[in-house]
């Protein structure tokens, strides 16, 4: 009988230690070490492996020009770089209930509808449960095959027998290998099962999607080696309070990581939003104080979003500072700049800022819109006309230039706005002729004067 030994592995990064540790020295995470039993191999250190691969010059290697597999869902294909690459292994993660399984079920149904063979392997639900969701989504196809299996060897056998055009594994944390004594979901099991499935997909040249769980911090559960192992890492973001879902590519060996897909959660599944700016502004009320429209960049895609601010006298000793969709630390900086450079007083005011539609605004190009919305609410004066505002605000009150100004201006024109206030340096660098009126502002004071110049 083989003697077993015990090791401790960090669930966050995969670091192995001979004993339990409170803090991981590799990723600085606390209380992430779990105990695992390891069976040493008898032939470890004595076996010799002879490689069958021979080095060859790169100029003599013929590249494979395989056509990508189109799913028919343009937002999904956009994030992948134009479609699914044959033999690629893709890991998609997200919070529970965000729509990962539903989205991939729809992807599989779309491909099965074109005659492709799709294998959906579930370790969390029975085939009857998946059937109930499929009926709600109206998924009916003889080419869409379901299996409830968690044993990695059995999944490999299915792949070898069927050779499907697409394989979906839901989820990688439920798959286990009998060679290891640890429980499913353990670091060693996730790493080993992910490696086995990746090798099977590469050998059969079939694309595979793995669904992964996330931690409370929003990071993928399991070792980071799993993220490095796959070809594409997708993150589905959103919350239960809003219907919109953002699909981001954190890693893509076959395309750009700057693309973002936008979806909407409905009773009929996760539906793509082809004109997101129009959706986000559909409930906007013009002429309301404290609201300003800005152009936010999600990857390389411009999105027009309404920034809302509410400034009211405080009823408590310490004024409130609350923001949704905008970094509260950035809000504090903008309030300080408005007080110092424009002489406005927010010390006795409660301040609430919101990005409408559940979109999170992370780039500095929306600073000027937040500042203008705060001034508009404080003065109780709406921004004049169909005006959009973009620009970064510095600590000295200057309006700094932003990137991809052409895309932002084109989006503002497409949505029918007639005026855009932007950094003066960005206006000077714009060489094309715009349909709308462009007003440049070098300082925050100048931008405020432009927004309210017609107000008495």
Tens of pLDDT along the chain (456 residues) come to: 445 567 788 877 778 888 888 888 888 888 878 777 665 555 544 445 566 678 889 887 776 566 799 999 999 999 999 999 999 999 999 888 889 999 999 999 999 999 999 999 999 999 999 999 999 998 889 999 999 999 999 999 999 999 999 999 998 999 999 888 778 887 788 889 999 999 999 999 999 999 988 765 656 665 567 888 999 999 998 866 667 888 989 999 998 888 889 898 888 889 998 888 998 898 888 889 999 999 999 878 899 999 999 999 998 889 999 999 999 999 999 999 999 999 999 999 999 999 988 788 989 999 999 999 999 999 999 998 799 999 999 999 999 999 999 999 999 999 999 999 999 999 999 988 889 999 999 999 999 999 987 544
Token reading at 260: 């973002």
- Interacting residues of 326 by C-beta distance below 8 A, sequence separation 6+: 307, 353, 354, 355, 360, 361, 366, 370
- Note the pLDDT of residue 146: 96
With b for 16 or more beta-carbon neighbours within 10 A and e for fewer, the 264-293 pattern comes to bbeeebbbbbeebbebbbeeeeeeebbbbb
Q: C-alpha dihedral over 116, 108, 218, 176, to 10 degrees?
A: -70
CA 438 to chain centre: 32
Q: Is there a shared CATH topology between the 68-274 domain and the 279-451 domain?
A: no
CATH class of 68-274: alpha beta
- Interacting residues of 363 by C-beta distance below 8 A, sequence separation 6+: 296, 297
- Note the pLDDT of residue 370: 98
- Note the pLDDT of residue 456: 41
- Note the pLDDT of residue 222: 59
- Taking the CA atoms of the chain, what radius of gyration do you get in angstroms? 27
Output the pTM of the full model. Answer: 0.78
- Domain limits, the chain: 5-38, 68-274, 279-451
CB count, 10 Å around CB of 257?
16
Instruction: With CA atoms as reference, report the closest residue to 103 among 127, 71, 131, 128.
Output: 71
What is the residue whose two structure tokens read 């750009």? Answer: 256
Residue 158 CA to residue 156 CA, distance in Å, equals: 5
- Note the pLDDT of residue 1: 44
Look up residue 398 and give its DSSP letter.
Answer: B
| Burial classification of residue 151, based on how many CB atoms lie within 10 Å of its CB (0-12 exposed, 13-18 middle, 19 or more buried) | middle
Pairing of strands 387-389, 166-170: unpaired
Pairing of strands 5-10, 16-17: antiparallel
CATH class of 279-451: alpha beta
One DSSP character per residue, 214-272 reads B-TTSPBSS-THHHHHSSEEEEEE--TT-SEEEEEEEEETTS-S--EEEEEEETTEEEE
What is the residue whose two structure tokens read 């505002």? Answer: 389
DSSP H or E run through 144? strand 144-148
**Could you give the strand order of the β-sheet that contains 118-122, starting from the edge strand earlier in sequence?**
144-148, 118-122, 166-170, 208-212, 89-94, 232-237, 244-252, 260-266, 269-272
Pairing of strands 5-10, 387-389: unpaired
One DSSP character per residue, 365-385 reads GGHHHHHHHHHHHHHT-PPPS
- What number of CA atoms fall less than 13 Å from residue 212's CA on the CB side? 31
């Amino acid at each position: 009988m083989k003697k077993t030994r015990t090791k401790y592995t960090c669930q966050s990064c995969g670091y192995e230690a001979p004993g339990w540790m409170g803090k991981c020295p590799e990723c600085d995470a606390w209380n992430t070490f779990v105990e695992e039993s390891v069976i040493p191999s008898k032939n470890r250190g004595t076996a010799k492996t002879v490689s069958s691969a021979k080095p060859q010059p790169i100029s003599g290697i013929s590249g494979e020009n395989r056509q990508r597999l189109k799913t028919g869902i343009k937002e999904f294909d956009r994030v992948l770089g134009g479609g699914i690459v044959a033999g690629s292994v893709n890991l998609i993660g997200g919070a529970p209930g965000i729509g990962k399984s539903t989205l991939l079920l729809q992807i599989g149904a779309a491909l099965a509808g074109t005659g492709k063979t799709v294998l959906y392997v579930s370790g969390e639900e029975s085939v009857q449960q998946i059937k109930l969701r499929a009926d709600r989504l109206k998924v009916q196809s003889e080419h869409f095959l379901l299996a409830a299996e968690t044993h990695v060897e059995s999944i490999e056998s299915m792949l070898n027998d069927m050779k499907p055009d697409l394989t979906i594994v839901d989820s990688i944390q439920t798959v286990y290998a009998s060679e290891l004594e640890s429980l499913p979901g353990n670091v060693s099991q996730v790493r080993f099962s992910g490696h086995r499935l990746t090798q099977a997909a590469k050998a059969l040249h079939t694309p595979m999607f793995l669904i992964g769980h996330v931690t409370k911090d929003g990071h993928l559960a399991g070792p980071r080696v799993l993220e490095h192992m796959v070809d594409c890492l997708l993150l589905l973001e959103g919350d239960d309070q809003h219907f919109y879902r953002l699909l981001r590519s954190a890693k893509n060996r076959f395309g750009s990581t700057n693309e973002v897909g936008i979806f909407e959660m409905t009773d009929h599944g996760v539906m793509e939003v082809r004109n997101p700016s129009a959706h986000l502004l559909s409930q906007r009320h013009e002429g309301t104080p404290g609201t300003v429209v800005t152009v936010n960049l999600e990857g390389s895609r411009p999105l027009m979003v309404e920034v809302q601010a509410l400034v009211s006298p405080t009823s408590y000793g310490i004024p409130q500072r609350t923001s949704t969709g905008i970094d509260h630390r950035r809000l504090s900086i903008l309030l300080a700049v408005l007080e110092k450079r424009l002489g406005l007083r927010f010390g006795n005011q409660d301040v609430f800022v919101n990005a409408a539609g559940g979109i999170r605004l992370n780039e500095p190009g929306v600073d000027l819109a937040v500042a203008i919305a705060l001034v508009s609410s404080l003065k109780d004066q709406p921004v004049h006309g169909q005006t959009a505002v973009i620009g970064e605000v510095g600590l000295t009150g200057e309006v700094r230039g932003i990137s991809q100004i052409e895309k932002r201006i084109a989006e503002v024109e497409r949505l029918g706005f007639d005026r855009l206030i932007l950094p003066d340096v960005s206006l000077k660098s714009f060489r094309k002729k715009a349909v709308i009126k462009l007003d440049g502002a070098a300082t925050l004071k100048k931008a405020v004067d432009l927004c309210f110049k017609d107000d008495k």
